Amino acid sequence: MTETLAIVGAGHAAGQLVASLVMGGYEGQIVLFGNESVAPYQRPPLSKKYLQGELPAERLLLKPESFYPDNGVELHLNEPVTAIDIESRSLQYGDGQTLRWDKLVFATGSRVTQLPVPGAESSGVHYLRSIADVDAIRAAFAPGKRLLIIGGGYIGLEVAAVGVAAELDVALVEIAPRLLSRVASPQLSEFYLDVHRNAGVDIQLSTGVERIEPHDNGLRVTLNDDRSIDTDLIVIGIGVSAETTLAASAGLKVDNGILVDEHCQTSAADVFAIGDCTNHPNPLLEKRLRLESVPNALAQGRCAAATILGAPKAYAEIPWFWSDQYDLKLQMVGLTDGYDDTVIRGDMAARKFACFYLRDGVLIGVDAVNSPKEFMLSKPAIAAGARIPTDVLADPDASLKDAATLWPGV
Ligand code: FAD
């Protein structure tokens, strides 16, 4: 009898999983459940070109909607999975319909962190996770409008850059003493602070929000130092957590994400998890990680497909990520926690540089701004644990490639 593979969540990881299964000749029946109205799509442009109005929604789709029926995949949009019983291998979806499955994949992504202050549910206050969220924000995006962003992480900063380009009057508050404090070094935080301030964004650091109230056709935001900001529109980007509610209530092991092994296998037989919702081992970095990134969603989609197709290949990737703000393309690779030295190559003032992070002389991470070559060459060097002399790293004319090949495994 044909086996049924159910996938919960129709986002980036699920889209890759389905594509890899179809390409690999999977013979079972794939049933894909999404709680949005759109087939699997890419989210990165949401806070960039899509918000800017430069990309139509169809261009966000990973595959045309016809790909799914054409390949025998049952796609249920707007039909969330509401309960899962691992023992009887069944799930409930939509208005209470039931499906029996033989294999199950969680691809439930992340949920946004809600701002825990009075008035955060007011009309005019937005989060940014889905096409529907951006469509609502864009409806209020007009030159001269006042936009307040709460949270100075990548999404907040990308929205600020788009707001400036769209000629809004942009302000941003961040509770930490620096921008990007969870993910970037102080040098990079300082660089982006200058970039945004020079572009006209009014940035308040070490500043929290106490409450939000309707005021004079707009909103008044009271800050934790009793000052207030009046605005027309608020976008909150204060982080996400793994969406694990269903997995936890189904009895899977969850700890800051659904726990999986290097083959995306959860604590239950024939149940897998991929993408943002997982907490997974990284053999190259020798620790467990929860990542919020497209490269990870793609790698785990492929990894779970390989396992399901019976040709398992262990997940082993160095994390990487990117962010586009103004004319700046930032590409990051590796994890920089625990670094004890940094080396800058290039010219920060010219907005073209790479910041290399070292621990005990070993290259562990790179932030490359408008420097794709440094980013590309650093990837294998980090995976190999290379030691590249700091004078080579710092010299834009010295070949990283030649230096990197001096080290075994690169
Ligand atoms: P998602 O793509 O979030 O998909 C999960 C899906 O499951 C969602 O549609 C969710 O609604 C659905 N779902 C959840 N529960 C259920 C249920 N019970 N039933 C049915 N469906 C359910 N990453 C980068 O690498 N670079 C970037 O520049 C970048 N920019 C980003 C900008 C924005 C605005 C956002 C929001 C994210 C960005 N990311 C970026 C992160 C990246 O998009 C995510 O890491 C990626 O989408 C994760 O894929 P996923 O499939 O795990 O989760």
Q: How does pLDDT run across 253-305, given as a tens digit for each residue? A: 999 999 999 999 999 999 999 999 999 999 999 999 999 999 999 999 999 99
Query: What is the per-residue pLDDT for 258?
Result: 98
Q: What mean pLDDT comes out for the span 361-365?
A: 94
Dihedral pair phi/psi, residue 352, rounded to 5°: -150, 100
pLDDT tens digits for 144-203? 999 999 999 999 999 999 999 999 999 999 999 999 998 888 999 999 999 999 999 999
Ligand 1: atom nearest CA of 301 is: 51
Q: What do you get for the CA distance between the two ends of the chain, in Å?
A: 47
Say if CB 333 and CB 382 are below 8 A apart.
yes
Helices (H), 12-97: 12-23, 49-52, 67-70
Average pLDDT over every residue of 217-246 = 97
pLDDT higher than 70, residue 8: yes
Average confidence (pLDDT) over 347-358: 96
Tell me what percent of the residues of the chain surpass a pLDDT of 90: 91
**In which band, very low, low, confident or very high, does the pLDDT at 410 lie, cut at 50, 70 and 90?**
very low
Average pLDDT value for residue range 212-230: 96
Predicted pLDDT of residue 401: 73
Q: Among 35, 42, 43, say which to mutate for ligand 1: greatest number of ligand atoms within 8 Å of CB.
A: 43
pTM of the model: 0.96
8 Å CB contact between 113 and 156? no
pLDDT at 405: 57
Half-sphere exposure of residue 130: CA atoms within 13 angstroms, side-chain side: 16
175-191 pLDDT per residue, tens: 999 999 988 889 999 99
47, 127, 294, 321, best to mutate for ligand 1 pocket (most atoms within 8 Å of CB) = 294
Q: Sorting pLDDT into bands at 50, 70 and 90, what band is 406?
A: low
Joined tokens for residue 344: 């800058």
- Percentage of residues in the chain with pLDDT exceeding 70? 98
Q: How far does residue 276's CA lie from ligand 1's centre (Å)?
A: 7
Which residues does a 6 A CB cutoff place in the pocket of ligand 1?
Answer: 8-14, 33-36, 43-44, 46-47, 80-81, 107-110, 128-129, 155, 243, 246, 275-277, 292-295, 297, 321-323
> CA dist 83 to 10, 99, 203, Å?
16, 11, 43
325 vs 149: CA distance, rounded Å: 15
